[in-house]
């Protein structure tokens, strides 16, 4: 995958589900003048992030320069279908 981290301390991670809490914080724009930010908490898989990057690249062409900064720090795991309960956490799906 294009956006998977090269090195991580642990193979899998625990996910805390606090989608109800919306935190409003000040966003500092480090590159350029305009910043596009998600308003709600969401998970993006690698294919979706790559589609957004390609879409912006095709539509902006040479009108503007954009920087795509993404920090993939949560690995989503899934156990295979028709497996019995137990025996640890599943493999990384996306």
Q: Among residues of the chain, what percentage have pLDDT more than 70? A: 76
Read off the pLDDT band of 23 (50, 70, 90). low
Predicted pLDDT of residue 74: 74
- pTM value is 0.58
Q: What is the per-residue burial (b if ≥16 Cβ within 10 Å, else e) of 32-68?
A: eeeeeeeeeeeeeeeeebbeeeeeeeeeeeeeeeeee
């Amino acid at each position: 995958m294009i956006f998977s981290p090269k090195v991580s301390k642990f193979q899998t991670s625990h996910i805390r589900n606090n989608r109800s809490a919306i935190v409003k914080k000040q966003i500092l724009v480090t590159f350029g003048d305009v910043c596009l930010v998600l308003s709600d908490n969401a998970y993006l898989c690698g294919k979706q992030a790559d589609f957004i990057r390609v879409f912006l690249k095709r539509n902006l062409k040479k009108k503007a320069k954009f920087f795509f900064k993404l920090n993939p720090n949560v690995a989503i795991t899934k156990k295979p279908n028709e497996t019995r309960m137990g025996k640890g956490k599943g493999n990384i799906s996306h």
